[in-house]
Amino acid sequence: MRIICISDLHQRFQVDEEEKRKMRKFYSFLDHFITEPPEKLIIAGDLFDVWFEYKMVIPKEYFTTLHKLKIIADKGTNIIYISGNHDFVFRDFFQKILQAEVYENDYTFTVNDKKFFVSHGDSYTSNDAQYHFLRNILRNRTILRIFGWFHPDVGLNTGKLMSRSSKKYRKSNKILNKQEKGLIEFSEKLFEKGYNYTIMGHIHNPRIIECKGGSYINLGDWIHHCSYLEINNSVINLKFWE
C-alpha cells in the first residue's frame, strides 16, 4: 500500500509572486500523483489558509487545487482530510465532490500491523496557552454560525487578517521546540497504548524523531520546505518536492 501524507500548504486566496511560486510547485506535486495515484492521500490540515465552507461559495483561487484533488480521487485514491487550525467549517463539499473522508481531530490506520495516528497537532502543543484559549473561541459553534451570516468577501477577508502564512513570518527555533515538546510528549503516551507512529503538522518542522516505543513524524509545510511523507508498505520516507 502506498500512502502520501501532507499538511500546511496554507494556500492563500490573494496571490502574489511568492504564492505563485509555491503553487506552481504544489501543482506539479499533484500532477505527479494524478499520473501515479496512491491508495491514500492524507491531508493533515491547513491545506488552505482559510477554509470556511459556505453553503453556496468557495474561493475561486482554490479551484485548481480542488480540481486536481478531484481528478486524483476519481482515479481511485482515498482522500483523508483532518481538520487544522485554519479549517473552520466543513459542510459537505469534500465529502460529496471529492469523495473524501473528513475528521475533526484525528485519524488512525494500520499498515503491516503497524498502527498510525494522524492529527494536525494544534491541540497538543505545549507552552501555547494563548492559542489554545483562542482556539476554543474560534471553534465555538454559535460564533461560527454568526460568522456564516456575513457575506463571504467579508468573512474570508477577516480570516485573512489572522493569517501569518508567508515566508516573511517564521517562529524562532526556541518557540518551535517548546511547542513541539507537547506533540512529542503526547506521542509518547500513544506509543504506550500500542501505536507505532504519530504523524502531525502545525509546527512546520519536517523531521522524524525516534522515541521510546515509536516514531514521531512532523510533516513540515509547503511554505518553506515542500515536504511530504511517503509510506510504501514497510518503507517510510520523509521527502522534499523539488
User: pLDDT tens for residues 173-204?
Assistant: 776 778 899 999 999 999 999 999 999 999 99
- Three-state secondary structure call for residue 200: strand
Residue 178: what pLDDT? 81
User: pLDDT tens for residues 78-137?
Assistant: 999 999 988 877 889 999 999 999 999 999 999 999 999 999 998 898 755 555 555 555
Residue 103: what pLDDT? 96
Distance CA 75, CA 178 (A): 41
Q: Is the pTM of this model over 0.75?
A: yes
The answer to whether the CB of 238 falls within 8 A of the CB of 227 is yes
> In order of start, what are the domains of the chain with their CATH numbers?
2-240 (3.60.21.10)
Mean pLDDT of the chain: 88
Strands annotated E in the chain: 2-6, 40-43, 51-52, 78-82, 87-89, 101-103, 106-111, 114-119, 197-200, 207-211, 214-218, 227-232, 235-240
The answer to whether the CB of 218 falls within 8 A of the CB of 164 is no
Determine the average pLDDT of the residues in 204-224: 96
CA–CA distances in Å: residue 106 to residues 7, 101, 161, 199: 13, 11, 27, 10
Cell numbers linked to 136: 476554543
